[in-house]
Each structure stands twice: as C-alpha cells, then as structure tokens.
Amino acid sequence: MKRRSLLAAWTEPYGGVPPFDKVRADMFPSAFKDAMEEACREIARIADDPAPPTFENTFVPLEDTRRAYRRAQSLWTVYTSTLNTEEVKAIDREWAPKFAAFDDEIYQNIKLFERIEVVYNSPNKVKLTPEQQRLAWFHHTQFVRQGARLSAEQKRQLSEYNTELAECYTKFKQNVLADEENYYLVLESQDDLKGLPQSVINVAAAAAAQKGLKGKWVIQNTTASMKPFLTYCDRRDLREKGWRMWTTRGDKDDAYDNNVICSEILLLRAKRAKLLGYPTHARWRLENTMAKTPEKAMELMRQVWPAAVARVREEVDDMQKIADGEGVNIKIEPWDYRYYMEKVRKAKYDLDEHEIRPYLQMDKIREGICWVSNQMFGFNWSEVRNVPVSHQDIQVWKVTRSDDSLAGLWYFDPFEREDKISGAWMFTYRAQEKFKGSVTPIVSNTCNFVKGRSGEPVLVSWDNAKTMFHEFGHAIHVLNSDVNYPTLSDIEAMPRDFVEFPAELNAIWMSTPEVLSQFALHYQTGESMPDELVAKIQKACTFNQGFETVEYLASAIIDMALHLEGEKELDMRTFEKERLAALGMPKEIVMFPRIPHFDHVFASDGYAAGYYSYLWSEVLAHDAYKAWIEEGGPYKKQTAKRYRDTILSRGNTLDAAEAYRNFRGRDPSIVPYLEYKGFPTTTAT
C-alpha cells in the first residue's frame, strides 16, 4: 500500500493528480528505496542491451526511466518546502546524501555513457529530428558535466563531494527555517504599534495568539512580515531590533549559524569543479547558460551598478532632508530606508502605500493574473475541488484552452505557516510531454502572505502583487509547453538565465491599465483604483529603483565573486564586508539576501554562481516587452502568439539565444531595461 500510494502512476481526474490524501511522511523512506532499486533495474536494461546503440534503444527508454522515483521526489519536495516538520527534517537529513549518491550512480554508469556517446557521435545522428538531436546533446552534455569521463578514483571522489554537499544543503535550509521559527519580535504595548496600519496590527495579533501571547503582537522573522513592519513602524528602536533579527538569519553564532556551512559548501564546489576540469565552480556553472562565462555576467552587472549606486545617493539625500526636517537628528541607517522611503514617496509623488494596499486584494490579483493569460494565450480557469491537496490552504484550478482541451492544473499555496520555507517560488509536479501520448503539466505557485482574520481579504503590497505575477510567469511557461520529450520540457533543464525571462516579462503586465482598472478593486467599496492614483503610480514607476537594484546586485555580485575564488577557505563575514566595501556599497543598504540565509545559493546548486540570472532575464524581459509596444500594445495577440510559438512552447529544444532571436529578430538590448529603471542609457552597449 505504501509503495502503491507514492510510486504508482497518478490516476484520474485530469490525467492523474498527486495523491496527497494517501501520503504520510513515514511512507517515504521505503518508497525511496523501492524507487531507486526499480530505476537501477531500468538503467541496467538499457546499459546491458546487446544490440548496437541507437536513439530508439538508448535515448527513448532513458526518457522512460525513473518515473516512479520522480513521482516520489515531486511529493517529497512539497513536504520539505511546505510541510517541513521535525519528522520530515530527520528523513531529509538521512536521505539527501542518498539521493546525491543515486544520481552519481547513474551519471557514472560506464556502459550507459558509452551507448550515449556512440549515438551522439554517430554520423546517422543527422537523420534524427532537431528535437531528437537536442535530446542526444543534452544527455551527453549532462553526463560529461557530471563526471562520466572521470577515472574510477575520480568518480569516487566526486561522489564524496556530492554527498557532502547534499548534507550541507539540508542543514543550511533547516537552519534558516529554524531561525525564522525561533526568533520573532514581540510588541508589548500600543506605543509599539505607532505607525503600523491596522492590517499589519491584525496579522501581528493573530501571530501572537498562535504563540500563546494574548494581548501582545508578534512580527515574524520572515520577509512577508518584516518588510511592512520596517516600512511603517514609527519606533526607530524597534525597527532596528527587527531589522537586525531579520538580516542576521543564519548569522547569530548559535546552533543555527550558517557561516561555516557556507564556507564548506564553497570549498566542496571548488574541489568538484577542479575535478571536473574547470578552474572554478562559476566556470562550470555558466558553461551552458546564455552568459556563457562569469566575465560576461559580471560585465552586465558592473554596467548597471554605478547608475544604481548613484540613484541610491539621490534617494538617501531625499530621505535625509525629510529626517532633518522632522528634527530627529539622525543619519539614515539600513533600518530607516524603507520607513523614510515611504515618506519620500508621499512627499515627491503624493503617493502612499496606504493608498495602494486597499486596492490590492490577493484573490483579485490572482484573478487579474488569470485574465491576462486568457487575453494572451486563450487560457480559461475554473477552480476544482475534487483533487487532494497537501494543506487546506491550497486551491487548485483547471486550465483549459480556447477549444476546451485541458492545458494542465495549477495549485496555489498562498499563506505563510510554521514548517514552511519563506519566500515565493514555482514548482512543477509533472512536466508536459507527448512522448507516449499527451501528458498535461501540473504546476504550483507558492507564496508566504500573512493570513489575516477569518473572513477578511488578504491585502498585499505592490511588490508582492508583482511577485505573484512573476511566479505565475513560470507557471505560464510550463502550461504553454509543447514538447515531445519530458527531459526537454522540464524548465529545470533550461539555462537559469533564460528560465527567469518569462517570469520577469509576466510581471510587467501587473501595472498595465487594463489590469489595474479591472482587478485593483478596493476591498471595502469594490471600486476600481481611481485614475489619478493609477497616474501617480505610473509617475512614480522609477521611484526607489536605486535601492531595489543595489540590494539585489550586491547579492548577485557577491555570489559570483564567492564562486570565482576557487579552493580557498573563506570567512563569510570578512569576505562579505571587504568585497562590499570594494564595490562601494552604500552604507544605508545591506545585500539582500545576505550570505548566511542565501537560500538560492546555499540550499542547493540551483542558483549558485547564477543569481545574476534575474538581471540577465530582466534585460530580456524589457527588451521583449518592447515588441508588444512596437506592434500595437501589451495585449497584441499576434505578438503573444509569436512569443508562445518561439519561446514558451519550445522548452529546451533549441539554444536559448537562438530562441530569443526567433522571437525578437535580433539579440536583446539593455536600453529598455535602463529606461524602465530610470537609469542613464548613454553608456549602454
């Protein structure tokens, strides 16, 4: 029963759904063991085939292997990210290194790789379809990059590195989660609440009640809770206290400190890269990206950095003038930035976040997101309640095309809770494929909004609304996929600096008048956002771009710098301090995320030496958006169709740069990005 629940093919409705109603955490260990054994038998059948290697007897069955294992892993990812109880954490610590060893066992299978190489190098390869040739290239490249050509001793060493890294990743992310759960800011009196909007106070009261602190208020140590607190709290001493708690997650010299773990991860990555024949992890990581080299990625970041820093100087000057005018006798510090930023917004643009938030209801923003996808791609959305979910907060939508055919399912998990990792992300439960019949994708978006009182709408900030659009852009990418082979459909197999492109592009539609007029509705009156407020938002569109860009770029540059150091034992605090000083980091800002809680970089290999990808993709996004403007407006269906046909539907069936040129007719320009930010374009190349 346990194995059947976790490993069996998913059954109806909608082409099969994850069986969350039949799964318990304690089922996973035995299921993992069975799935690995089954996968090894599948791989052995391919590797030991006595027939000469061909695409049909090597790559075709390879696409069909490990399906049960992937189904179990899909369910497990949901548990470790959103249901991360002590039981789950213990299983994760035990099995993460086993997963790494299992992957190595496959990539280091000599017989299998020899068959792959024969087909890949065969002159008959030209007879394959372009997609089949791309699949052969992808698998061959992956095997080589994962050590298939190493000696037996080198492979053993590589497996040791990967196992140790898996253990470090698990410990890192569990430490960050522990910091978020164990530390929080308690507000004791009405005086502590000064400046906070009622919505924030209500959420803080609910959080306090959950912790048994009746009559008090709690600000959680998460981004979703801390950002609004830092923006509105009049008590500077409490802002500093909350800011220090939040920005030192994983950096408190306690049992959950991540500094040593980060150093170990970097050293292991450097050793692994050297073993694989690369001077640094960054070189290995960027080889198959759009940027190709660390230098190219750094060039883009350094091209933007001076303009962003100059804008920060202007922003701080504006803040300091307001503080001086209040007679408070302070110099702007990092815990003051968001607070005085709001005052500057009010003074310069007559725009207050308090004015905007009542119009941004989470459910209405979600409706707007779905509406945009309908206008662009013909998707229709209907909520369904006949599928099991992993938590009662999760809602599920059936997505259909204009001809009523099923495009896929979308799961939405919006609220923060204990045992759930903070942040926002997309996850694919099942990728699209046409390999052996049509398989529709199942995709989820996860956020960490703070749930208010029962029956009250959840109001989100402008930035959070854009985040919803961003993450949904990933979902739209998956739902538009039209690829034969599952490996090439999976966006995790695409270059990281291309994957973020559809998400960054989708976020732009958040601020279009069509969305704001229909879905930015006042939570009490139901009235649309007034035209004058929309005009003020658009007028202030470049406001605070210095802060946002410097905060992000600092983290991206430090990420790349760390992974260019090679086999050096680094002290994280010293490295961060010295490198930021050398960059000319404004003292009023810290890099965010900081190293000890940088999940993108240290909870997995995912964005290690790849955090620059957001900038790279944002440049693509703003250049691509220009195509709509040039061709008739943001809802031009002809442009959307070309975008779907050349980008979204193609998966990893062709080179990302070629795919972009097929859409835009040329390589991307940085100018639209700089214009959007309000930065000078005179030095753009």
Q: What are the residue numbers of the active site?
A: 471
Number of separate helices (H) and strands (E) present in the chain: 29, 7
Taking CA atoms, 373 is separated from 181, 378, 540, in Å, by 36, 7, 26
Q: Measured at the alpha carbon of residue 584, what is the angle toward residues 579 and 587, in degrees to the nearest 5?
A: 100
Taking CA atoms, 92 is separated from 28, 97, 452, in Å, by 10, 9, 32
Helices marked H in 327-445 — which ranges? 337-349, 353-356, 362-377
> Is there a contact between 595 and 572 (Cβ–Cβ < 8 Å)?
yes
**Beta-carbon count within 10 A of 200 CB:** 23
> Is there a contact between 17 and 388 (Cβ–Cβ < 8 Å)?
yes
Q: Measured at the alpha carbon of residue 162, what is the angle toward residues 156 and 163, in degrees to the nearest 5?
A: 90
Give the burial string for 498-534 (b: 16+ CB within 10 Å, else e).
Answer: bbbbbbbbbbbbbbeeebbeebbbebeeeebbeeebb
Structure tokens at 456: 């009250």
Structure tokens at 356: 């905007």
Q: Measured at the alpha carbon of residue 539, what is the angle toward residues 535 and 545, in degrees to the nearest 5?
A: 140
Q: What is the distance between the alpha carbons of residues 263 and 569, in angstroms, rounded to a whole number?
A: 6
> Is there a contact between 46 and 62 (Cβ–Cβ < 8 Å)?
yes
Side chain identity, residue 606: G
SS3 category, 88: helix
> Is there a contact between 505 and 470 (Cβ–Cβ < 8 Å)?
no
Within 191-345, strands assigned E span 217-220
